Chains A and B, each alone.
Chain A
Amino acid sequence: MTNLAIQANGLVKTFGNNRAVDGVDLKIPTGSICGVLGPNGAGKTTTINMLATLSKPDAGSAKIFGYDVMKETQKVRQLIGLTGQFASIDETLTAMENLMIFGRLHGYSRKDAKRKANELLEEFALTEAANKALSQFSGGMRRRLDLAASLLSNPPLIFLDEPTTGLDPRTRTQMWSTIRNLVKNGSTVMLTTQYLDEADQLADSIVVIDKGRVVANDTPDGLKKSVGETSLQITVKSADSVLDAAQIIERILKTKVQISESSELTAPMNNTNKLTDILTALKEVGITLTNVNLRQPTLDEVFFALTGNTEVKEEN
């Protein structure tokens, strides 16, 4: 029991007629990184908000390190750090002032708050910018300060809501190494992301959420395996025959085929030997191919196979 950082049973949150979160169960062990993956509006942030005591679930229950989020709210708040989707720091104040205020609110004395703030500013390479107003900060610097503010109390559980959205690739890689280090020091991290490679890179376990429901919960490798060892990619020469080709592949593999905008067909494959059948069948009806490719499936394809929707692809 107590080695679970997060345990949620049947969490529900409704806004009007919309069941934003519709019966989410979670079990996240202490010391791991859990990636919550889903398109916009899937219910990721609403789930985090309930776990971080910002909003009350309409049904279900959740425990953080064994403490009930509804009954032992203040205890839970002493154990978590939250970095929201939008920077939650004061724009008009300096980095140092922001950290001092949050530090004081966490119960540090003025001296300790200052020491802790200096430590964090150094660790996040913000020392030089300590006394600058936030309006002069870059997006990456804001994110770092935001994360630093969440770490003031050395919380054993950290929620990161889309921590790298809008960051350039270099800053994103740095954020990843920061997150890995948090876990090395003994924290548990739950992060939401729309980026499938981010979940793949960081997470020990991935929870896929779609329309308020958990559609899969597994390790990154397990998820990929569950939808096929390999992924088949075929490009046909004539765009007119794309749908015919898709039908043939669906008949042989008994699975859905994803068609990209560039008329590329992608399908998960459990049995590589079926490739011969597909190629023969396509040849019989006279469809010419320009490219055939077999590779490990991406989480993008996993997501498609699990939810049957291409929303993620379309958005990107």
Chain B
Amino acid sequence: MNNALALDKNIAITPASERELKNRVSVWTAIQNTFTFAHRTLLKSIRNPESFMDVTIMPIMFTLVFTFLFGGSVSGSIANYLPIIIPGILIQTLMTSCGAVGVQMREDMDKSITNRFKSMPIARVAPLAGALLADILRFIVAGIVIFTMGAVMGYKPEAGILAVVASILFMTLIAWGLSWMFTFTALSVRSSTAASTTGMLIMFPLCFMSNAFVPSDALPSALRFFAEHINPVSKAVAAVRQILSDGTVGTDFWMAIVSVIVLLIIFVPLTLKVYTKKG
């Protein structure tokens, strides 16, 4: 090993007293740190292509299964069901993906690499913010996969391709807001297995007690009230359907945006608190 570990080149270490030190992390540094962590998350997902399965193969499978299973009974035909199911699959996929980020964060926190990050002069929130930033890319991938699948099955949104782009961006924003809620619960529980279960527990009622897969007037009255008036997922799905059919935004769009802002106001501080405390 030719004297490999001898550190032959003598790098003189600047003594502590001669260094210029700051006790605060600047906003600019925090942003740079966040992008570095987002880059790290993406590099890791590229090395591990299975991590993209939940935004590629899963939605393809769900679109096929739901369309052929319920298409006839809910809407009379497959062609009539696609405009209902595609936005539903989109939100369900994004929410499943949100859950995965929470689990990933939880796993990272249990690893010793977190100790190195914690001993470095970086913004405390950067690992979390970076992972959530990288997530946006996953959401967009999911959106493209789902609309491509829809097109293959014969779905042509009336409002055209720009409406599709707008829908993907809108859903990405909604999902990003929801992902803080998932991350908070994942960080609050004891293990990553528990994090994965609680993720499902949030995703299922929000997705299925909504208008995402069936028209909400088919639901029993109590569920129907929740689906129509409380569940932000219903608002988001209704907004996307409107964008795709008429190319316009209405009350549902703004209601969904407001719900997300409310969720962010609640869950961003909570998430940061539990993250800095545990991490």
Q: Which residues of A contact B (CB under 8 A)?
A: 2, 5, 30, 49, 52-54, 64-67, 72-75, 77-82, 84-90, 92-93, 97, 101-102, 104-107, 119, 123-125, 133, 144, 149-150, 154-157, 174-175, 177-178, 181-182, 184-187
Residue ID in chain B nearest A146 by CB atoms: B116
A54 neighbours in B (Cβ, 8 Å): 115, 118-119
B15 neighbours in A (Cβ, 8 Å): 30, 156, 186
Which chain B residues in 101-127 approach chain A with CB under 8 Å?
A: 111-122, 126
Contact in complex: A107, B29 (CB < 8 Å): yes
A155 neighbours in B (Cβ, 8 Å): 13
Contact in complex: A78, B17 (CB < 8 Å): no
Contact in complex: A174, B4 (CB < 8 Å): yes
B93 CB to closest chain A CB (Å) equals 24
Contact in complex: A53, B5 (CB < 8 Å): no
Q: Which residues of B contact A (CB under 8 A)?
A: 1-2, 4-17, 19, 21-25, 29, 32-33, 36, 39-40, 43-44, 47-48, 111-122, 126
A293 CB to closest chain B CB (Å) equals 36
B6 neighbours in A (Cβ, 8 Å): 177-178, 181
A67 to B47, CA, bound (A): 40
A313 to B132, CA, bound (A): 49
Q: A123-B4, A154-B14, A156-B16 are in contact. List 6 more A-B contacts (CB 8 A).
A: A77-B119, A78-B22, A79-B19, A102-B116, A123-B8, A125-B4
B24 neighbours in A (Cβ, 8 Å): 74
| Contact flag A144-B5 (CB < 8 Å), given A101-B39, A156-B13 | yes
| Contact flag A84-B116 (CB < 8 Å), given A78-B19, A92-B47, A97-B43 | yes
Q: Max chain A CB contacts within 10 Å: which of B22, B32, B36? A: B36
For B25, give its contact among A53, A74, A88, A92 (CB under 8 Å).
A74
Contact in complex: B16, A123 (CB < 8 Å): no
For B119, give its contact among A65, A80, A89, A156 (CB under 8 Å).
A80
B32 neighbours in A (Cβ, 8 Å): 104, 107
B192 CB to closest chain A CB (Å) equals 16
- Counted as pairs of residues, one from A and one from B, with CB atoms less than 8 Å apart, the total is 135
Contact in complex: A82, B116 (CB < 8 Å): yes
B118 neighbours in A (Cβ, 8 Å): 53-54
Contact in complex: A181, B7 (CB < 8 Å): yes
A225 CB to closest chain B CB (Å) equals 32
Contact in complex: A65, B17 (CB < 8 Å): yes
B112 CB to closest chain A CB (Å) equals 4
A178 to B7, CA, bound (A): 7
A5 to B15, CA, bound (A): 10
Contact in complex: A92, B44 (CB < 8 Å): yes
A66 to B47, CA, bound (A): 43
Residue ID in chain B nearest A64 by CB atoms: B16
A135 to B131, CA, bound (A): 23
Residue ID in chain B nearest A93 by CB atoms: B43
A101 neighbours in B (Cβ, 8 Å): 36, 39-40
A178 neighbours in B (Cβ, 8 Å): 5-7
A186 neighbours in B (Cβ, 8 Å): 12-13, 15
B12 neighbours in A (Cβ, 8 Å): 185-186
A54 to B32, CA, bound (A): 22
Contact in complex: A88, B115 (CB < 8 Å): yes
| Contact flag A74-B22 (CB < 8 Å), given A174-B5, A177-B5 | yes
| Contact flag A124-B43 (CB < 8 Å), given A105-B120, A185-B11 | no
